[in-house]
Structure 1
């Protein structure tokens, strides 16, 4: 068993859309481009970008972040796994909530 989270929740649809407009290289990527670069299905990328999907497997989250040129935690919040809470995925970081 590993302590690494198996799922990540998208922090913000708005952040994802903004990063797609201007990646770490300064270029824009479409849903199709991001799917190709991250090797994640086009339907998953589209669902994340329109807000109908909020979580994704860790390996896919890492590949999407890498394709956008950002650290994983810029875009994703680890979700509770095996009874251990990694973070409250619904509370923005730095909001003053108790840790």
Structure 2
């Protein structure tokens, strides 16, 4: 499972956000529509905002079972990585 997350913040408000997941579908998984839901929100994010984004990605992440891992494991790990990233109380400047 691969995960990359990016958040650009200005005065504690999210200006831009991007998430990408690998090995959880036939191609890389990203959703600009889901990402847009966080633009304008303040850091730290409310638990309800985090839950909404994680739930939305849960609907579009469709991993497979193979010799390296099970689909349920890949989905669980990818959503946990997203939840962890979103629940950080502060982010480092570039």
Give your verdict on TM over 0.5: no
Greater relative contact order (CA < 8 Å, ≥ 6 in sequence) = 1
TM-score range relative to shorter protein:
0.3 to 0.5
Q: Normalising by structure 1, what TM-score?
A: 0.32
More helix by share: 1
Alignment TM-score, normalising by the size of structure 2: 0.33
